[in-house]
Amino acid sequence: MPLPLRSPMRPARSTALLLATALVAVGLTGCSSLSPFNSCEGTETRVKELSAQPVLTSVPPGATVPKGLASVDAECLDDSGGAWLYAERTYAFPGSRQEVVDFYRTTAKAGGWHLQSDPMDPDVADTEAGLCFTKGGDGDALMLTVRFTTARQLKVEYNYDAGPEFDSGSGFHIAVDSETDGAKTDCWN
């Protein structure tokens, strides 16, 4: 007489139940193990530090600040479940995107920033994808991005009517971003 076989479904159900229980437990206790800065509360000083980064005002010769965008746009956002700090400026530039890329490669490197390449899209030109740099370590890590924009994108994204300075050349945003606690971050995560 053959021995009775175990149902193959029993181990799968047990594993599924164990995983579900573990996920619920992590979800219920996860908030208490997060950084004390899991919201924007108490991040005002760090936002001011970001907005004072010299690279935000280092621009290629000929770059101008568009009318109405003269100040640094800096704040903490916590609308996606995890708070994030940023300080951003927008500029118009009468030259080419390549000139902007070349300027920031040199300027950022001189300021201690390290260029990060996108491992998923290595063939996309910097003049299309923009640039991303990192600086600092755990506790004081920063990320610097240079992204290109157009008058149309400014209208769609910010409801901003760009002036004639965007009629030729390149518009770009430069931003310094950070985790609220300065945790080390990567450009492509």
Digit-coded pLDDT (tens) for 12-50: 333 333 333 333 333 443 433 444 447 898 999 999 999
Residue type, 74: A
Q: Which two tokens stand for residue 144?
A: 């610097």
- Give me the pLDDT at residue 136, please: 93
Mean pLDDT computed over 101-127: 92
What is Dmax (Cα atoms) for the chain? 91
In a domain, 69, yes or no: yes
Within a 10 A sphere around the Cβ of 23, how many other Cβ atoms? 11
In a domain, 39, yes or no: no
- Give me the pLDDT at residue 68, please: 83
3-state secondary structure of 75: strand
- Dump the DSSP string for 115-174: E---TT-TTS-HHHH-EEEEE--TTT-EEEEEEEE-HHHHHHHH-----GGGSSSEEEEE
Mean pLDDT computed over 53-80: 90
Whether the CB-CB separation of 182 and 108 falls below 8 Å is answered with no
pLDDT of residue 89 exceeding 90, the answer is yes
Range of the domain at 171: 44-179
- Give me the pLDDT at residue 35, please: 47
CATH code at position 65: 3.30.530
- Give me the pLDDT at residue 151, please: 85
Tens-digit pLDDT profile for residues 136-165: 998 899 999 999 998 888 888 888 888 788
Query: What's the number of domains the chain is made of?
Result: 1
In a domain, 12, yes or no: no
Residue 169 has phi, psi (to 5 degrees) of 85, -150
- Give me the pLDDT at residue 122, please: 81
Report the C-alpha gap between 154 and 176 in whole angstroms. 19
Distance of CA 93 to the CA centre of its chain: 23
CA R_g for the chain: 23
Percent of the chain past pLDDT 70, that is, above it, reads 79
In a domain, 119, yes or no: yes
Place of tokens 């640094």: 72
In a domain, 10, yes or no: no
Looking at per-residue confidence, does 103 or 1 come out higher?
Answer: 103
Place of tokens 């000083």: 45
Report the C-alpha gap between 169 and 188 in whole angstroms. 28
Report which DSSP code applies to 21: H
- Give me the pLDDT at residue 27, please: 41
In a domain, 20, yes or no: no
Whether the CB-CB separation of 175 and 144 falls below 8 Å is answered with yes
In a domain, 16, yes or no: no
- Give me the pLDDT at residue 161, please: 86
Q: Which two tokens stand for residue 89?
A: 């400026």
In a domain, 122, yes or no: yes
